[in-house]
Structure 1
Amino acid sequence: METILNAISEFSGFIWGYPMMILLLGGGLFLTIRLGFFQIIFFPHTLKHTIGKIFEKNKGDGTISPFQAFTSALASTAGATNIVGVPVAIAFGGPGAIFWMWVVAIIGMSTKYSEIVLGIKYREKNKDGVYVGGPMYYIRKGLNWKFASWLFAFGLMIEIIPGVMVQTNSISTLTEGSFGLPTWLTGIILMTLISIVVFGGIKRIGSVAEKIVPFMILTYIGGAIGVMVINIDQFPEVMKLIFVHAFQPISAAGGFAGAGFAAAVRWGLARGLYSNEAGMGTASIAHSAAHTPHPSRQGLWGIFSVFIDTIVLCTITAFTVLVSGAWKDVKPSNASDMVSDAFAGLMGETWGPIFVSSLLLIFVISTIGVLIFYGEKQAEYLYGSKASKVMRVVYICAVFVGAIGGLQFVWELVDLTLALFVIPNVIAILFLSKEVKELTDDYRNNFLQQRSKDNTFSG
């Protein structure tokens, strides 16, 4: 068994090294150029028609509001990847990794935008009258690639099981250390809370997400700003470290072992790609249920979500561990403790870790709720609505099993099953990029002009 696990781990490490980075980064660059740098040129427009239209009355067909779709999709990315993943990138790639994280975020905006646009175009209503969509629909309906569609759906459906286990184990371990709660009790609490959310379907998930996610993000940002304020004198040096060592090696300092140029690029790109999930296609599953008058209008939320997830949250985490000096004080093997260490300087040795653990607990609950919804939709697509209910029970059981640390050999499959659905999704988006461009041009040249005329007439 150990030999098999080692083989799986090595193969997964290879796939998620340069091959996957070339596919995701290269695909994002292609889309960025084909769409005329839409995510950059139209960024002010994106802000105006996303965060600036939160309270606007729903327009167009759909099941949930555009903001609920956005917060539901963001719930699956915001959290552990921002708080734990960024310090790992700094530990192994140095401060320069943050620069490359920014680069891949800007490029990834075009990928996530394209996923959502296609998700809206090819969505359909299920037997319950709920709008459903995502890569499995646009791969089959747009390209008639039935096997690739099946591969995406099956890969994601299976990947949710170890994905849920990893999430729950990370939080049960933290709560045991911070609050003294036994892992089995954390497992039962998580099962109960998550069941309440997921048994309400996408409407309840959207309702919960739109309340919890903004609260979590604002609370975390507030605490991080506090850490940055008390270390404000370190900012000039931190900015220098980021930009200089994005291109030059950095030597060892304290617990930091040093990093070369290649490590900065690799870890920065990997963290950026993994944190915002651009290219994975999962966001389009949630966004396909949104009310929207035009596919590109909902696609704007994809651009904004990458901005919030990577440019804002990941950057704030990076600044927090860099200005506080935690990146030099904590060894790379314990990189996940950097944020707690940074907050300890603001809140004390006891309350700092408790604050971070509490936030992660809430993040994980919302994340797992959305992940289970994603898994259910794959089961429904493959085998019907009854299968989706069966998988819901399987995922909820996985919450408890993961919390107590059971079936750890399954966790080795996370990255491998992830590749099973990321690869067909990115390839499909590239083949359907012409349709994305046509819809984007229609949005720019026709939809926006018509809206402008209507507003002028009504005014």
Structure 2
Amino acid sequence: MNNLQSLLQAIDSFVWGPPLLILLVGTGVYFTFKLGLLQFRHLPTALKLVFSKDKSSNGDVSSFAALCTALSATIGTGNIVGVATAIKLGGPGALFWMWLAALFGMATKYAECLLAVKYRKVDDKGQMLGGPMYYLRDGVGSKFLATMFAVFALGVACFGIGTFPQVNAILDASHISFGISREISASVLTLLVAFVTLGGIKSIAKVAGKVVPTMAVFYVLACLSVIIMNADQLGAAIQLVVVSAFTSTAATGGFVGASIMLAIQSGIARGVFSNESGLGSAPMAAAAAKTDSCVRQGLISMTGTFIDTIIICTMTGLALILTGAWQSDFAGAAMTTHAFAVGLNSDTLGPLLVSIGLIFFAFTTILGWNYYGERCVVFLMGTKAVLPYKIIFVGLVASGAFLHLDMIWIIADIVNGLMAVPNLIGLVLLRNVVIEETKLYFAATSKNKHDAVIA
């Protein structure tokens, strides 16, 4: 058993090693410069579009609801636990590399969500079908790559990010903060997941559209409280992040020290893991949006990476650095809980805020990934397989309370990384489609503005 675990850990380190990280960031760098720094020049426009309505009737849910569904899957335990893990491993400099990965990742997210709308189809129940499976099959012309992506993504939904880690995070937080037994929490969670997911994308999007913005604002305000209470050290904290990104961090307190390479690797890996740019998950939600423009949806979708990493992960990171929690002996969720306890001078309020954040973040991640798994099932087996899949998924959520297998986490991590490979191949092969569509959209937009001025 130990030999198998060691082998899986070696595969995991290889999958999430420099080649994949270079490919992920490299794709973002390529699109950033080929699209003329689109994510910097058009971010204000993209943020405006998030809240404006598209009059199109093509689609299942509004663009805002599609973005919230994608964010429900990405804003999760990674924003609380992942940031703490990155800084524990790579020091404060890891936060800088998370920012860099996110800024380039916005261009990748734009490209993959543009392609999702461009190549989407309608299923026999009238729902939109889209995502890497369809642009790999119909755009690239490779059924093999499309099937490979769908199988890996289904694996992530059922045995990875979509179930076990989130279920355990919810049950642990409920038990520690509210004293609720794991069995009761598991029963309530299973019923809630069944109730929401059986209603399909409209039901998931409705819940996500209310819960995601609320929990994101709640968590950001909690982090801001910590930052404001330690505002006198904010300048020094940001300086420490930037300096540590380019110099080795010395061992202090419970922190064992880190090289620049470790800061880069842990920052980029956790950043990508949190915002999922390039992994191919968000395009499945983007394809359901009511829109006639693939570029418009691409712009809206790229704000997801900005919100997830540049805003929420930064808040967590600054709270950890300002309170000195990164130098403590704590790790993961315990480190973030310690930061809030110190930052708010309260041993009860701090942990309570982190627990509430974790519970809601993890719950919506389960909902988002349930939908992604469903889209993969439809691609692989047709709409008739949707109900059996949902029953199995709910069963996996229920069983997650009683499974403590380290190997499941490692397998989940491997499959999550493997998802990115066929997707990135598709993005590289369809790069000219992305560039062409972008040029056409902005040429038409500037012409409309010009005509409006003349009129």
- In structure 2, distance between residues paired with 1:388 and 1:289: 17
DSSP-derived class of the 1:390 partner: helix
Matched, 1:185 2:184: yes
Look up the match of 1:353.
351
Contact 2:169 2:358 in 1 (8 A): no
**1:56 paired residue number:** 53
Q: Which stretch shows the higher mean deviation, 70-79 or 27-36?
A: 27-36
**1:193–1:365: 8 Å Cα contact kept in structure 2?**
no
Letter in 2 for 1:395: F
1:88 matched residue in structure 2: 85
**SS in structure 1 opposite 2:189?**
helix
8 Å CA contact 1:92–1:263 kept in 2: the answer is yes
- Shift of residue 339 of structure 1? 1.6
What's the CA shift string for 1:101-158, capped at 9, x where partnerless?
Answer: 1111111011100010000000011111111100000000001101111110111112
- Post-superposition shift, 1:34? 1.9
State how far apart, in whole Å, the 1-side matches of 2:408 and 2:250 are: 37
CA drift at 1:381: 0.7
Structure 1 distance, partners of 2:396, 2:315, is 32
Q: Deviations over 1:407-436 (max 9, x none)?
A: 554333112222332100011111000000
Q: 2:74 is paired with a residue of what secondary structure?
A: coil
Specify the alignment match of 1:27 in structure 2: 27
Tell me which residue corresponds to 2:3: 3
User: Counterpart amino acid of 2:66?
Assistant: A
Aligned-pair CA distance for 1:232: 0.9
Q: What secondary structure is seen at the aligned counterpart in 2 of 1:207?
A: helix
Deviations 1:289-322 (A, max 9, x none): 1011310000012221111001000001011111
Q: Secondary structure at the match of 1:181?
A: coil
Which AA in structure 2 matches 1:2? N
Give the secondary structure class of the aligned counterpart of 1:29: helix
State how far apart, in whole Å, the 2-side matches of 1:419 and 1:272 are.
13
Partner of 1:437: 435
Q: Secondary structure at the match of 2:246?
A: coil
1:50-88, CA deviations, whole angstroms, 9 ceiling, x for partnerless residues?
A: 2xxx15354352110000000000010112111111011
Q: For the Cα contact (< 8 Å) 1:376–1:389, is it kept in 2? A: no
How many residue pairs get matched?
452
Name the SS of the counterpart of 1:280 in structure 2.
Answer: coil
1:263-274 matched pairs, under 5 angstroms:
263-274=262-273
After superposition, residues 43-192 of structure 1 pair within 5 angstroms as 43-50=43-50, 54-56=51-53, 58-59=55-56, 61-163=58-160, 164-192=163-191
Partner of 1:215: 214
TM-score between both structures, scaled by the size of structure 2: 0.96
Alpha-carbon offset, residue 48 of structure 1: 2.6
Residues 136 and 142 of structure 2 are in contact (CA less than 8 Å); yes or no, is this contact kept in structure 1?
Answer: yes
After TM superposition, the structure 1 stretch with the greater mean CA deviation from structure 2, 184-193 or 308-317, is 184-193
Distance 2:154 2:269 in 1: 23
Distance 2:114 2:166 in 1: 29
**2:334, 2:448 → 1: CA distance?**
50
Would the aligned equivalents of 2:66 and 2:285 in 1 still touch at CA under 8 Å? yes
- Structure 1 length-normalised TM: 0.95
Partner deviation per Cα, 1:236-264 (whole Å, 9 max, x = no partner): 21011111111011211211111111111
**Superposed, which structure 2 residues align to 1:382-397 within 5 Å?**
382-397=380-395
Shift in Å at residue 454 of structure 1? 7.0
Residues 315, 380 of structure 1: CA spacing in aligned structure 2 closer, same or farther, 3 A cutoff?
same
| Cα pair 2:90 2:264 within 8 Å, conserved | yes
> Which residue, 419, 422, 425 being the options, matches 1:421?
419
User: For residue 312 of structure 1, what is the aligned residue in structure 2?
Assistant: 311
- Aligned partners of 1:201, 1:260: CA distance in 2, in Å? 46
Distance 2:55 2:360 in 1: 28
Q: CA deviation at 1:173?
A: 1.9
Task: Find the aligned partners of 2:152 and 2:448 in 1 and give their Cα distance.
Answer: 41
Q: Aligned partners of 2:359 and 2:88: how far apart in 1?
A: 24
Distance in 2 of aligned mates of 1:68 and 1:455: 30
Contact 1:114 1:429 in 2 (8 A): yes
SS in 1 for 2:385: helix
3-state DSSP class of the match of 2:348? helix
The 8 Å contact of residues 116 and 302 in structure 1, kept in 2 or not, is answered as: yes
Cα displacement (A) at 1:347: 5.9
- The residue type equivalent to 1:154 in the other structure is V
Shift of 1:37: 1.8
- Post-superposition shift, 1:444? 0.7
The more displaced of 171-180 and 142-151 is 171-180
Task: Determine helix, strand or coil for the equivalent of 1:69.
Answer: helix
Counterpart Cα distance in 1 of 2:173 and 2:214: 21
User: 1:455, CA displacement in angstroms?
Assistant: 5.4
Contact 1:95 1:241 in 2 (8 A): yes
